[in-house]
Amino acid sequence: MDFLNAIVALSNFVLIPAIAYGSQLALGALGVTLIYGILRFSNFAHGDTMAFGAMLAVLITWLLQSMGVSFGPLPTALLALPFAILGTMVLVLLTDRVVYRFYREQKAKPVILVIVSMGVMFIMNGLVRFIIGPNDQRFSDGERFIISVREFKAMTGLKEGLAIKTTQGITVVVAVICVALLFWYLNRTRTGKSMRAYSDNEDLALLSGINPERVVMYTWLIVAALATTAGVLYGLDKSFKPFVYFQLLLPIFASAIVGGLGSPLGAIAGGFVIAFSEVTITYAWKKVLKYMLPESLEPSSLVQLLSTDYKFAVSFVILIVVLLFKPTGLFKGKSV
Which residues contribute to the site for another protein (CB under 8 A)? 12-14, 17, 21, 144-145, 148-150, 153, 161, 163, 165, 234-235, 237-241, 243-244, 247, 278-279, 282-288, 302, 304, 307-309, 311
Nearer to another protein, 201 or 308 (CB): 308
- HEC profile for 139-178? CCCCCCEEECHHHHHHHHCCCCCCCEEHHHHHHHHHHHHH
Which lies closer to another protein via its Cβ, residue 215 or residue 275? Answer: 275
Are 218 and 195 in contact by the 8 Å Cβ rule? The answer is: yes
Q: Which is nearer to another protein, 97 or 150 (CB)?
A: 150
Nearer to another protein (CB atom), residue 122 or residue 312 = 312
Cα separation, 255 vs 273, in Å, equals 7
- Measured from the CB atom, the residue of 158 and 206 that comes closer to another protein is 158
Give the residue with the Cβ less far from another protein, 32 or 54: 54
Nearest partner of 100 among 155, 164, 42, 158, judged by Cα: 42
CB of 154 to another protein, least distance (A): 12
How far is the C-alpha of 250 from the C-alpha of 241, rounded, in Å? 16
**CB of residue 281 vs another protein: minimum separation in angstroms?**
9
Question: In the 3-class helix/strand/coil scheme, how is 316-336 assigned residue by residue?
Answer: HHHHHHHHHHCCCCCCCCECC
Residue 310 main-chain phi, psi, to 5 deg: -95, 20
What CA–CA distance (Å, rounded) separates 144 from 47?
26
CA 334 to CA 311: how far, in whole Å?
Answer: 27
Q: What is the DSSP string of 26-54?
A: HHHHHHHHHHHHHH-S--TTHHHHHHHHH
Closest approach, Cβ 285 to another protein, in A, equals 7
CB of 313 to another protein, least distance (A): 12
Least separation in angstroms between CB 329 and another protein:
25
Q: From the CB of 335, what's the least distance to another protein, in Å?
A: 31
SS3 179: helix
CB of 331 to another protein, least distance (A): 27
Name which of 25 and 38 has its Cβ closer to another protein.
25
Kindly state the smallest distance separating residue 6's Cβ from another protein, in Å: 12
- Beta-bridge partner residues of 334: 261
* Identity of the residue, 4 or 114, whose beta carbon is nearer to another protein in the bound complex: 4
Q: Helix, strand, or coil here: 137?
A: strand
